[in-house]
Amino acid sequence: MSSAPPLLDRPDVTSYPGGEALYRLRHSAAHVLATAVIDLFPDVKVAGGPPVENGFYYDFSRATPFTPEDLEKIEARMREIVAEKQPFEYRETTREEAQKFFEAAGEKYKLHFLSVIPPDSQVTFYTNGRFVDLCRGPHVVDTGGIGAFKVTHVAGAYWLGHERNEMLQRIYGTAFPTQADLDEYLKRVEEALKRDHRKLGRELDLFSVHEEIGPGLILWHPKGGMVRHQMETFWKEEHLKRGYHFVYTPHIASEKLYEISGHLQNYADIMYAPMDVDGQPYRPKPMNCPGHILIYQSKKHSYRELPLRYAELGTVYRYERSGVLHGMERVRGFTQDDSHIFCTREQLADEIAGILDLMDTLLQKFGYEYTCYLATRPKEKYLGTEEEWSFATHALKEALERRGLPYEIDEGGGAFYAPKIDVKLKDALGREWQCPTIQVDLNLPKRFGVVYTGSDGQEHEVVMLHRALLGSLERFMGIYIEHTGAEFPVWLAPVQVAVIPANPKAFDYAGDTAKMLREGGVRATVDLRDEKMGAKIRDAELEKIPYMLVVGPREADAGTVSPRRKGVGQLEVMPREAFMARVQQESRDRSA
Ligand SMILES: [Zn+2]
Ligand SMILES: [Zn+2]
């Protein structure tokens, strides 16, 4: 079997999500797409087009941009090609013949792909209709076999993915074995669009990004700020229960610190340029670890003081290419829910088990299921001894097993300085997000000489753990907005209760009720605008406020409220004190 032309992002047939049959189907659909495009637009040059996760694409070079109407025409032409059942014909050819063929056709991109096929590999063509592709397959038998498909959109894509290269037009589509599969997929995509955190963030006034500040830097608005405040409070309470100490470290530090830590050598490409402070280069902080180590080292520690657990909601700055920035989910400044634990070898497995317990508490409260991956030593580049790696990996494994957490092994997936547990959350749309990570560090304790005095009176190297459980607050928030569709539970909702007077006669009672709730710690607003009640109810619904209290003269006379719970409906009429106690309880227990 020959090796494939090196198309970017091209997944391997055998590892394709959905399996080989789906790969064939989508790969064939990509050829049908290209066939339709060259039929309709003879001026295009074709580049390449592999199956990708959830579909396929093909890249074209053409002076005029494809319009939505063009895409419709292309899809219609694809249906005709499917009806024609054009066979996919495989043919082995020679390099010279392929060269001549693509030169005659003026297909310079194909000539490039031909030039990078390894010398010992067979050059092969797949042909259907008028379309001849440099391709190793596999395909379905004929164009009738591509199942249910749809052309979805077009976007710019640099030739070979390099920003300095020319921009091609990438047409995306998707294909599934049956129409029902395709419909279900399209429904999921639509749902994901509705839940897009950038869209909901704007509509609900949660956060924004401004060119004036710079891309990838998040401004949290009051409502997003309230959600974050509640998340942080929960996070802090759970840490205090588990014997963590909170620390705070500066946002910039002398470059010397990052020389010692090795960040300057190993992570230079993600660190921002130095600034001059009294002739010394300083850098924005890319990681919190060195600061925590210095706190530990500010005095001597005996084994009796260990373990020591430092935690910080630490804001760090890392460079990301502008092309990959994405709302809150991929940013240049973010706050990690970071912690570093200093312990002895004997304490390591217990500490990891404790972290897993804390992680479970946090993730359950946010309504996530999750999967654990144990990432082991990389094959080539790594620090530390065989013994250290096996000890640390074993401790991670033991802690997972002790908690009865199923896990998969990610062979060779560890950092060069540490084995780790990576955890992926599963969101309401079935998508996976890597957030928590727990690493045993075999590097920094050596670089900084982090020690404790043992019971033998000698100095020993500490074992150090890094861990972040939400990951970063920005990314976690973005993912959580999409997980919930911004239907925040009562304990997190920026506004918990909207009091709505049924008519102006109830304004006083409504205002008084909201005031009472606020004094009781409930986040309540009252809508005293000169608007119809129906409009006020609609607005409160659009704001996704969990409770609505419509009050009229009858409620005012009786001192009651008749609450409406979003997603549930009308609750029974109750004294307003009873309603307040209910919301207080739900907030305290974080139960709703
Ligand atoms: Zn192909
Ligand atoms: Zn760290």
Mean pLDDT by 10 residues, the chain (592 residues): 38 80 96 97 94 94 96 97 96 94 95 92 94 93 96 94 92 97 94 95 97 96 98 98 98 96 92 97 97 98 98 97 93 98 96 97 96 94 90 96 94 92 94 95 94 97 97 98 97 98 95 98 97 95 97 95 94 96 97 90
Q: Is 589 one of the catalytic residues?
A: no
Q: Kindly name the residue from 26, 263, 285, 318 that is annotated as catalytic.
A: 318
The alpha-carbon radius of gyration of the chain (Å, integer) is 29
85's tokens: 């059942």
Q: Is 566 one of the catalytic residues?
A: no
Q: Which residues contact 289 (CB under 8 A, 6 or more apart)?
A: 261, 338, 340, 441, 444, 466
SS3 319: coil
220's tokens: 């949290």
Q: What is the pLDDT of residue 11?
A: 54
Closest CA to 10 of 35, 28, 29, 27: 27
Q: What is the pLDDT of residue 5?
A: 37
Q: Which residues contact 532 (CB under 8 A, 6 or more apart)?
A: none
Q: What is the pLDDT of residue 7?
A: 41
Q: What is the pLDDT of residue 162?
A: 87
- Amino acid in position 503: N
Do residues 500 and 551 lie in contact, with contact meaning Cβ atoms separated by under 8 Å?
yes
Q: Is 397 one of the catalytic residues?
A: no
**What does the DSSP assignment read for 120-151?**
TSPEEEEEETTEEEE------SBGGGS-EEEE
Q: What is the pLDDT of residue 4?
A: 35
Ligand 2 centroid–CA 468 distance in Å is 8
CA distance 353 to 343: 13
Closest CA to 312 of 338, 285, 289: 338
Angle at 1 between CA 48 and CA 111, to 5 degrees: 30
Preceding peptide of 138 cis, ω within 30°: yes
Ligand 1 centroid–CA 5 distance in Å is 9
Q: Which residues contact 456 (CB under 8 A, 6 or more apart)?
A: none
CA distance 384 to 388: 6
344's tokens: 């002895």
Q: How far, rounded to the nearest angstrom, does the alpha carbon of residue 419 sit from its chain's CA centroid?
A: 22
Q: Is 153 one of the catalytic residues?
A: no
Q: What is the pLDDT of residue 159?
A: 94
Ligand 2 centroid–CA 288 distance in Å is 6
Ligand 2 centroid–CA 537 distance in Å is 47
